[in-house]
């Protein structure tokens, strides 16, 4: 599955689309509440719910494991081979640092690019050192060796272990964002936004985790905080970073209520809108323009009524243009060399809206420039709104 956009599939360019970057699948390692079918995971129900949703990109999430991602992609592709929505692998981990009053470790997610292979996933998990608690003792194992519920519940990984696994899997000179993004929770099980005045050690840890992260899972009210480059407790600036939401579904009911409709039913967060092609590159674009590319809200940003949008124009009886040109609902750039048809294209569009006025304007312009030459554009262009 390529993560580069097919130019025919995304010919309108960047548009606001619904994304959900935190969805657990049947069989998730912890808190699996999905109803079973004939004693096993109900993949048909899960895949159908995704297929019928309006979500363009979904990150399949599991604790210390990537098995769910590969299973979902295989099952969904078998059921709906002509559907090309984006699936991303989301590895949910737990840091040893505790920053909230409830004693919860900080949750952190690694969202990999969709070209991740099973061999790469295995290599990564075999090289990711994990600390687990067995009784009163702790021991170190690799992530791939976790097997029991108690091990998954107690496991933690350090940031240095993550960096080491990245280098071991993708090369010592690997650029992290070429392969994965670090998305840290900024909800109850994560760092807390706007925590100025907290104890010095926790504030310093929160700053370090903030700097390590590419983005955050948070509610809409935290957006301004993470866009503020002066948000750190330390007297230093950092970069503005995007926040995402996710339904965090562990049951079919949560999936039905949350996927593509709103965020997690438990915290009331809004759905995530991203203005980009549904690709890993599109997700990377949100790191560059976090304020312009991401919104957490119940309705589509910049919504326009259909009658206010020129969707496409079709041409007939001419070889100067393709048979059809599709437009974005927002900004469109017409690029070409001199005499390549930029002005003519605008004239054709104007004619579709106001034929008489456009012909009159063209005739007057032609008389001024060349004498009495006129353009019969009414036979060439038709409108499509």
CATH code at 94?
A: 3.20.20.140
Average pLDDT of the chain to the nearest whole number: 86
pLDDT band with cut points at 50, 70 and 90 for residue 233: confident
Does 58 lie in the same domain as 177?
A: yes
Rounded average pLDDT over 259-273: 70
Q: Which residue would you say has higher pLDDT here, 97 or 379?
A: 97
Asked if the model's pLDDT at residue 250 lies above 60, the reply is yes
| pLDDT for res 366 | 72
Q: Which residue would you say has higher pLDDT here, 305 or 246?
A: 246
| pLDDT for res 332 | 82
Neighbours of 301 (CB within 10 A): 12
Asked if the model's pLDDT at residue 168 lies above 50, the reply is yes
| pLDDT for res 268 | 55
What would the pLDDT profile of 282-297 be if each residue is shown by its tens digit? Answer: 999 999 999 999 999 9
Q: Provide the 3-class DSSP secondary structure of residue 346.
A: helix
> For strand 86-98 and strand 105-112, is the pairing parallel, antiparallel, or unpaired?
antiparallel
Number of domains in the chain: 2
pLDDT band with cut points at 50, 70 and 90 for residue 2: very low
| pLDDT for res 4 | 45
pLDDT band with cut points at 50, 70 and 90 for residue 363: confident
201 in a domain, yes or no?
A: yes
Closest CA to 179 of 124, 216, 253, 97: 124
Residue percentage of the chain with pLDDT more than 90: 58
Asked if the model's pLDDT at residue 373 lies above 70, the reply is no
Asked if the model's pLDDT at residue 64 lies above 80, the reply is yes
| pLDDT for res 135 | 78
| pLDDT for res 267 | 56
5 in a domain, yes or no?
A: no
d(CA 378, CA 35): 60
d(CA 75, CA 85): 14
Does 314 lie in the same domain as 254?
A: no
Report whether 208 contacts 102 (CB < 8 A).
no
Asked which of 110-124, 133-147, 354-368 is least confident by mean pLDDT, the reply is 354-368
d(CA 23, CA 59): 6
Q: In degrees rounded to 5, what are phi and psi of residue 116? A: -55, 130
Rounded average pLDDT over 217-241: 91
Q: Which residue would you say has higher pLDDT here, 246 or 330?
A: 246
| pLDDT for res 228 | 95
| pLDDT for res 375 | 46
Does 364 lie in the same domain as 249?
A: no
176 in a domain, yes or no?
A: yes
| pLDDT for res 102 | 64
Asked if the model's pLDDT at residue 8 lies above 80, the reply is no
Show which of 249, 273, 296 is a domain's final residue: 296
Looking at the chain, the number of H-run helices and the number of E-run strands are 12, 16
> For strand 180-185 and strand 215-217, is the pairing parallel, antiparallel, or unpaired?
parallel
pLDDT band with cut points at 50, 70 and 90 for residue 187: confident
Provide the sign of the torsion angle of the four alpha carbons 195, 200, 202, 203, taken in this order.
positive
Asked if the model's pLDDT at residue 6 lies above 90, the reply is no
pLDDT band with cut points at 50, 70 and 90 for residue 190: low
Rounded average pLDDT over 71-87: 96
Domain, as residue range, for 277: 16-296
pLDDT band with cut points at 50, 70 and 90 for residue 179: very high
d(CA 57, CA 22): 10
Does 375 lie in the same domain as 258?
A: no
d(CA 111, CA 134): 29
pLDDT band with cut points at 50, 70 and 90 for residue 205: confident
d(CA 358, CA 348): 8
Asked if the model's pLDDT at residue 301 lies above 80, the reply is yes
Rounded to whole angstroms, what are the CA distances from 186 to 118, 144, 218, 226, 267? 30, 27, 5, 10, 12
Does 340 lie in the same domain as 254?
A: no
d(CA 184, CA 190): 7
Q: Which residue would you say has higher pLDDT here, 100 or 217?
A: 217
The b-or-e profile of 141-151 (16+ CB within 10 A means b, else e) is: bebbebeeeeb
* Residue count (the chain): 385
Does 310 lie in the same domain as 292?
A: no
d(CA 345, CA 306): 21
Does 273 lie in the same domain as 211?
A: yes
Long-range CB pairs of 194-201 (<8 Å, 24+ gap) are: 194/222, 194/225, 194/231, 195/233, 196/233, 198/233
Does 349 lie in the same domain as 207?
A: no
| pLDDT for res 147 | 94
| pLDDT for res 384 | 45
| pLDDT for res 370 | 59
Q: Provide the 3-class DSSP secondary structure of residue 356.
A: helix
Q: Provide the 3-class DSSP secondary structure of residue 109.
A: strand
Helices within the chain (DSSP H only): 43-51, 67-79, 118-127, 149-154, 159-170, 200-212, 223-227, 252-258, 280-288, 290-293, 342-353, 355-370
10 in a domain, yes or no?
A: no
The b-or-e profile of 34-53 (16+ CB within 10 A means b, else e) is: beeeeeebbbebbbebbeeb
Token pair 């909800």 in the structure block, residue: 187
Does 327 lie in the same domain as 216?
A: no
Does 210 lie in the same domain as 352?
A: no
Rounded average pLDDT over 159-174: 97
Closest CA to 86 of 72, 100, 66: 72
| pLDDT for res 201 | 62
């Amino acid at each position: 599955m390529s993560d580069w956009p097919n130019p025919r599939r995304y010919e309108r360019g960047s548009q606001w689309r619904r994304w959900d970057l935190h969805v657990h699948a049947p069989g998730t390692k912890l808190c699996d509440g999905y109803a079973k079918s004939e004693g096993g995971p109900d993949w048909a129900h899960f895949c159908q719910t995704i297929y019928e949703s309006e979500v363009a990109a979904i990150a399949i999430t599991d604790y210390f494991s990537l098995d769910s991602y590969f299973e979902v992609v295989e099952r969904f592709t078998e059921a709906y081979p002509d559907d090309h929505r984006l699936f991303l692998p989301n590895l949910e981990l737990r840091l040893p640092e505790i920053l909230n009053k409830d004693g919860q470790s900080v949750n952190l997610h690694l969202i990999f690019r969709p070209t991740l292979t099973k061999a790469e996933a295995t290599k990564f998990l075999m090289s990711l050192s994990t600390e687990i608690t067995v009784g009163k003792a702790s021991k170190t194992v690799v992530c791939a060796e976790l097997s029991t519920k108690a091990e998954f519940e107690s496991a933690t990984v350090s940031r240095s272990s993550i960096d080491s696994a990245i280098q071991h899997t993708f090369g010592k000179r690997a650029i992290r964002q070429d392969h994965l993004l670090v998305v840290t929770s900024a909800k109850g099980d994560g760092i807390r936004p706007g925590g100025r005045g907290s104890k010095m050690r926790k504030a310093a840890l929160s700053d370090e985790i903030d700097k390590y992260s590419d983005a955050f899972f948070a509610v809409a009210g935290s957006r301004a905080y993470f866009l503020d480059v002066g948000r750190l407790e330390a007297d230093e600036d950092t970069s503005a970073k995007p926040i995402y939401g996710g339904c965090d579904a562990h049951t079919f009911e949560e999936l039905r209520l949350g996927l593509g409709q709103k965020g997690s039913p438990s915290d009331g967060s809004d759905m995530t809108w991203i203005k980009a092609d549904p690709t890993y590159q599109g997700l990377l674009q949100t790191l560059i323009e976090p304020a312009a590319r991401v919104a957490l809200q119940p309705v589509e940003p910049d919504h326009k009524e259909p009658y206010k949008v020129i969707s496409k124009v079709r041409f007939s009886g001419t070889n100067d243009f393709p048979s059809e040109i599709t437009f974005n609902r927002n900004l469109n750039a017409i690029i070409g060399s001199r005499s390549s048809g930029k002005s003519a294209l605008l004239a054709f569009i104007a004619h579709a809206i106001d034929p008489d006025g456009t012909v009159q304007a063209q005739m007057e312009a032609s008389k001024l420039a060349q004498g009495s030459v006129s353009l019969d554009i009414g036979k060439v262009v038709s409108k499509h709104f």
